[in-house]
Structure 1
């Protein structure tokens, strides 16, 4: 496990996710106010970094866990973006590094069902933009 510092994003990008939990609005993904949670080209940046790391370490794929519910508000989670990034990464690497994005077109409910079938203990997970008590 490695951590790549992306602190520069907070300085140059605008997003309520980068401003702190008090700035993050409540709502459904498709609600207009949720656009403030978009971190511009976040997945493009992280996929690019991951692609460089993958090629530097002899790996063949980069994985991303975007899902169908993200499409309404996050452009860099949509199928066409993932396909375009996959093509760019394959074209820009000697090792033909690709993207594996198995959840792109399925809902969180479907993902949770898959986890249940795999006996995932959801009590050991935490996913929240606002942080808070685990």
Structure 2
């Protein structure tokens, strides 16, 4: 059996890490799938999905690292007029930071629950907000 679910997040900050673990856990629990896997994916190229510990100090360190690796005011080819879009591209850092986190995570599902480490949480990473964002959760396996 395969179930594709989705939910929308309304982000409020330009860059942010939002814990979505409870939403994913609920969707897996409601799916009826007992054993298999769950894929969590963002539908946007300036956002990411990652798994890490939910410590405020660690989230601050993660954001600081992103800003050091991809400085906000660097020279980027994407910061120019895009005639095919009819607008100026102003979000190169969002695309590059999203590449660092990746756009998905996969977890095993056993006995109707996702299998993860004790401190592992799932984060939606916003790098070009504030916006409405869609997250897909595909749960695959046996009922």
TM-score by length of 1: 0.28
Which protein, 1 or 2, shows the higher relative CO under an 8 Å CA cutoff with sep ≥ 6? Answer: 2
Higher strand share: 2
TM-score by length of 2: 0.27
Higher helix share: 1
